[in-house]
Amino acid sequence: MSDNIQAQNAPLRLGTRGSALALAQTRQMAARLREAHPGLVVEEVIIRTRGDEILDSALHEIGGKGLFVKEIEDQLLDGRIDAAVHSLKDLPGELPDGLALGAVPEREEPWDVLVSRGGESIRGLPPGSRVGTCSLRRRAQLIRYRSDLEVVDIRGNVDTRLRKVAEGEVDGVILAAAGLNRLGHGERAVERFAPEIMLPAVGQGALGIEMRADDSRTAALLAPLEHVPTRQAVTAERSAMAFLEGGCQVPVAAFAEIRGGRLRMKGLVVSLDGKRLVMAEEESLPEEGAKMGEKLARRLIEMGGDKILEEIRNV
């Protein structure tokens, strides 16, 4: 740890939601910070968000993205916490003035998975089976693949959703592999969806550690957590999302990765009924992800994505 950081031995206050997954993610990052900076005191500050308060409505009906971050960002801006650990897919494409992503750690598994009551794959579920998700993106892609399934809005934390499967309220549920893995439930996944069936959410599997943009001490403390290839990939994805989404929850998906020294990305927009889908692919140098993301978004719009998004916003 550098001398100037050691000299400032105040605790680093990490803000987090109180769910089991949010706490697990925050504690993993806190452990890595203590390892990187021996003697550093890391304090956990639990903050309740609007998304945690409202559990009886679908996410897209009450605001979608930003529901799980605003109260945390308010405490960051007020100086009550120094940094916040988020699932990156919860963060809107554009951060509030004065805030920045201080670190993007290495990405976990990005894919969506199925947990089914009887161990069936998505193809093996009988017609009419009830599959739970609160995501418009998952819903639309699932209906496109299996229009004979009943897709049910389901809210609550990972354990709650798993319990609803076990109790037979639904026959299966779609979750992020990363969340299951971080909670030690990875073995519950019956099937990992290929991207041809279900392209993941922007930033899925990645964490974003948010901080005040002018806080040099926190920036220095967070630096060892940074994973440049993940940052480059999610920068491309978030650039496309910011261009397409405008802060609303819509069925947009994107995934980027570095292969052969190039940043390659696929993105799509799909109608709510799954019947219309536009998809595009782009590649660039890894450091040009922001430009590539916007280019891909423009292509999706030119291919008819704007009409799909307009219809969704007018529902």
At 72, which CATH number? 3.40.190.10
183: left (phi > 0), else alpha (psi -120 to 50), else beta? alpha
Same domain, 64 and 130: no
Q: Is residue 200 part of a domain?
A: no
Would you say residue 30 lies in a domain?
yes
Tell me whether residue 167 is in a domain: yes
- Domain span at residue 246 reads 237-313
Here the CATH number for the domain that contains residue 272 is 3.30.160.40
Each residue of 41-72: pLDDT tens digit? Answer: 999 999 987 655 554 444 444 445 556 788 99
90 included as an active-site residue: yes
7 with 80, same domain? yes
**Both structure tokens of 100:** 């920045």
Block residue for tokens 């978030």: 238
pTM of the complete model = 0.89
Helix locations, the chain, DSSP H: 3-7, 20-36, 50-53, 59-62, 70-78, 136-145, 158-166, 177-182, 216-222, 228-245, 289-300, 306-313
In the chain, which stretches have pLDDT less than 70? Answer: 1-8, 50-67, 246-249
Q: How far apart are CA 162 and CA 185, in angstroms?
A: 10
| Same domain for 96 and 144 | no
Q: Is the same domain home to 30 and 14?
A: yes
Q: What is the pLDDT of residue 66?
A: 59
Domain co-membership, 253 together with 284: yes
Short-list 246, 240, 247, CA closest to 289: 240
CB of 21 closer than 8 Å to CB of 157: yes
Residue 264 lies in a domain: yes
Shared domain for 173 and 51, answered yes or no, is no
User: Looking at residue 48, what is its pLDDT?
Assistant: 85
Helix (H) / strand (E) element for 102: namely: strand 99-103
Let me know whether 29 and 91 are in one domain.
Answer: yes
Nearest alpha carbon to residue 254 among 202, 305, 177: 202
For residue 62, give Cα distances in angstroms to 54, 56, 67, 71: 8, 10, 8, 15
Count: domains in the chain: 3
Same domain, 93 and 213: yes
Q: CA dihedral defined by 88, 92, 97, 98, rounded to 10 degrees?
A: -10
Residue 253 lies in a domain: yes
Q: Are 47 and 72 in contact (CB under 8 A)?
A: yes
For residue 250, the model assigns a pLDDT of: 81
| Catalytic residue, candidates 90, 112, 171, 215 | 90
> Domain check: are 285 and 267 in the same one?
yes
80 and 220 in a single domain? The answer is yes
- Separation of alpha carbons 269 and 280, rounded Å: 9
199, part of any domain: no
69 and 8 fall within a common domain: yes
Please tell me the distance from the alpha carbon of residue 106 to that of residue 85, in angstroms, as a whole number. Answer: 14
Where residue 260 falls (left for φ over 0; alpha for ψ -120 to 50; beta otherwise) is left
Residue 201 resides in a domain: no
| 212 and 267 share one domain | no
- Decide if 66 is inside a domain: yes
Three-class SS state of 152? strand
Note whether 231 and 180 are within 8 A (CB): no
pLDDT, position 234? 97
